Amino acid sequence: MSVAEQLHNIRHMPYGTARTAAAEAVARKIDAEGPREHLAEALLDLVEAYTFGGEGAKSFVTFARALRLWDASPELFDESDEHNLFWEFKWVAGDLADYPQITRAQAEAFLDDMQRRFELQGSGLSAVRAARFGWAWQSGSPGAEDARTAWVTNQRDVFDDCRACVIGRQTDFFVEQGRFDEALALGLTQDGKCNIEPAKTFHATALAALLTGDSAAALQLHRQAAASETSANRDLAASRGQSFELLARGGQIERALRELRGDYRELVTEASSPLQHLRFLLGLIAGLSANLDRGDLGTGIVLEGTSSDATVAELHAWATRRAGDHARALDARSDSHYYAELLNRSLGATLAPQPLEPVPEPAPESVPAELGAESAQSAAGSGTARNGAAATHPDAAPNAVNGSTGQAGRGSVLGKLWDKLTERGAAPAASGAGDGEPVVDAEGLLARAEEAAARKDYAAAVRDYVSAAAALESDGWIERAGLAAAEAGQCAALHQDEVRAHECFASAVPLLASGGADAGTLAAVLAAWAPVAARMNDPEPQITATAAALAAHGDFDATGLSDELAERRRQEWLVERATLRDTLARALAATRGGVFGQDLDSGRAAAEALRAGEEFAQLGMLADASHAFWLAGKVHVDRGDTEAAVWGLESAFEGFTAAKQRKERLLVAGELIELLRQTGQAERAEQLVSELTGG
């Protein structure tokens, strides 16, 4: 493979360890062996990999080398390289404030050199003014407002930020400065889109709206922010901090903690830089400070050096210490008290003047007692899930039901089970399902619920599915009652009413088990329940139900079946067992080392993930097998079993290669490279990098 092809392939890798390692390897090779005309391209690609791969601190040295190469041998830069050099100036300048080891003198010298080079190039100064504003703001300079004005009032050029980012950066700045009215006014003008916008603007504007007393606008903007999140902007630390602060100060601390556990738990302990970590912690602390009257509330977060969930008060104290360390280091660099003052402001945060409107509950008359505590209590005796814990566990694969990656269509992960739910058999005929007519039986309720789900009116769907479940159970249609309850749970989850979703799934499982549902149906429902149970910090009913379902999945019985039918049913039986194993493994792994009775711990998670991988592989389901091996490897990493971890990750890498799952293959490769390097196996790591680059 030529160097040009290697560089092209690297640019199409997802950001992360694998791409960074590959970019480093190719840059070293070109530097040592040539061809020299590709060196500028390789260095600039490496700066990009560092910047967007969470290693911005490493970009400074590589970018400085690219500048020296430009000064000494500008002929090595083609038109694209030249444009990228000046564009990447913005990235590197934007990271100056993030690391306290970069002094004020160093930063200002860099910005002066940036301006000199842009002037010599005749490229305009918009990027320079934006960089000076960013440094002034994030270093705590009193001249930040003047720098912002100079940026936005002077002529723009091709190197300026996009319109969406110009609005977003200022909105974020206004919120941090406590200028909430200005933030709200500007943020509401956002009409652009890029890799991080409009999610970033909407998160900041939502918080501004809440703190100016407009809770309705805050809730709507928060929904818009969530709807505009992508893989590129989901991990914006400051935005995540603002989201937590919004919910917690808006009177929804439990929901804020569910979001924290399920969506960005890792930001509690680390982010891409010290400054980004601090900006997240400031939002976290503000939200917790407003709820210290509930200091004993469990958070579901296990802190370093502890083995139990931290309470609100404990997490608040821990985050305050970490934020204080960051603030002192950043303020010392700038000889200011800027971040100390921001921390004090977060510590003094209170509940917003107007609380957020809670997620609407189904009308009381439509929530039958039959789906209450009694059914939920018996859920521990029935079944569990497939890849459903994935969304709550960064080590897990994407959600999947019965071997398919991703969520099913319609309004439900359980869409494929709809035919089973609507089998009427000897059920009463539908009546009263027309527009404006009263619905008096289960069939009419089911039809109306399905229509509501199709138009994404999930609150209405929940009400009718729950009522239908009660009617079906009363008429003796137990399995169909369980399916209706499961549909209610999934619709409630889509409506962000996780409390109701958890209740409905807990009700569905025992109904399905007692109604004779097959293992595939039970596994699908358990899979859908798993992420909800984890976010609710109440995984035990789902885990014990899954373990029970797996234990009840007895030996395959081909009695009375033809050879052809027996083989088909045997394949289905094997898929069901592997799915149950995988679901149990993911649910256990999502608890980060939790123990739930005898043999329900991380050791069981690793063992079941390995068995699931082997069984999926035997069935020819390579992608599912690879995800299971990936999970087994990650659990073994957490358990400190390096040899088993390497085996699991290598198996996943090989499986994704065979399945032609390129993105997953590279993500696993990055984790494997990190593990091999950390455990002194540098030679094996470099062999893997060589395989990735085609060298």
Please write the tens of the pLDDT for every residue from 149-176.
999 999 899 999 999 999 999 999 999 9
Whether the bond into 198 is cis, omega within 30 of 0:
yes
In contact, 539 and 498? CB cutoff 8 Å: no
pLDDT at 410 over 60: no
Q: What is the pLDDT of residues 177-231, one digit of tens each?
A: 999 999 999 999 999 999 899 999 999 999 999 999 999 999 999 999 998 987 7
pLDDT of residue 695: 62
With cut-offs at 50, 70 and 90, classify the pLDDT of residue 594.
Answer: confident
Radius of gyration of the chain (CA): 27
pLDDT of residue 366: 37
Q: Which residues contact 337 (CB under 8 A, 6 or more apart)?
A: 140, 331
The continuous run of DSSP H or E covering 400 comes out as: strand 400-401
CB atoms within 10 A of CB 343: 23
With cut-offs at 50, 70 and 90, classify the pLDDT of residue 123.
Answer: confident
Grouping H, G, I as helix, E, B as strand and the rest as coil, residue 449 is: helix
Tokens 């149990």 belong to which residue? 584
pLDDT at 87 over 80: yes
Q: Is the dihedral of CA 192, 197, 200, 202 positive or negative?
A: positive
pLDDT at 117 over 50: yes
Q: What is the pLDDT of residues 51-80, one digit of tens each?
A: 999 899 999 999 999 999 999 999 999 999
| Single pTM value for the model | 0.86
CA–CA separation, 554 and 32 (whole Å): 61
pLDDT at 48 over 90: yes
pLDDT at 136 over 80: yes
Tokens 């993911």 belong to which residue? 586
DSSP 349: -
Grouping H, G, I as helix, E, B as strand and the rest as coil, residue 371 is: helix
In contact, 548 and 380? CB cutoff 8 Å: yes
Sequence-distant contacts of 666-669: CB under 8 A, at least 24 apart: 666/13, 666/14, 666/16, 666/18, 666/19, 666/692, 667/14, 667/16, 667/18, 668/626, 668/630, 668/633, 669/17, 669/18
- Based on DSSP, count helices (H) and strands (E) in the chain, helices before strands: 31, 4
Closest CA to 46 of 22, 74, 67, 79: 22
Q: What is the pLDDT of residues 224-269, one digit of tens each?
A: 999 898 776 556 899 999 999 999 999 999 999 999 998 999 999 9
DSSP 383: -
Grouping H, G, I as helix, E, B as strand and the rest as coil, residue 300 is: strand
In contact, 384 and 530? CB cutoff 8 Å: yes
Q: What is the pLDDT of residues 488-546, one digit of tens each?
A: 999 999 998 999 999 999 999 999 999 999 888 999 999 999 999 999 999 999 999 99
Structure tokens at 382: 């029935």
DSSP 101: T
Average pLDDT over residues 662-671: 96
Q: Which residues contact 110 (CB under 8 A, 6 or more apart)?
A: 92, 93, 96
In contact, 15 and 45? CB cutoff 8 Å: no
Structure tokens at 77: 């830069």
**In sequence order, what are the beta bridge partners of 311?**
298
In contact, 87 and 131? CB cutoff 8 Å: no
DSSP 406: S
Q: Which residues contact 613 (CB under 8 A, 6 or more apart)?
A: 625, 626, 628, 629, 632, 648, 651, 655
Tell me the one-letter amino acid at 67: L
pLDDT at 376 over 60: no
pLDDT of residue 598: 79
Phi, psi of 275 (to 5 degrees): -65, -45
CA–CA separation, 161 and 133 (whole Å): 13
DSSP 360: P
Q: What is the pLDDT of residues 277-334, one digit of tens each?
A: 999 999 999 999 999 999 999 999 989 878 788 999 999 999 999 999 999 999 999 9
Average pLDDT over residues 635-660: 96
CA–CA separation, 429 and 444 (whole Å): 9
With cut-offs at 50, 70 and 90, classify the pLDDT of residue 371.
Answer: very low
Average pLDDT over residues 601-625: 96
With cut-offs at 50, 70 and 90, classify the pLDDT of residue 388.
Answer: very low
Q: What is the mean pLDDT of the chain?
A: 88
* Of the candidate ranges 49-58, 127-136, 367-376, the one whose mean pLDDT is the lowest: 367-376
pLDDT of residue 358: 75
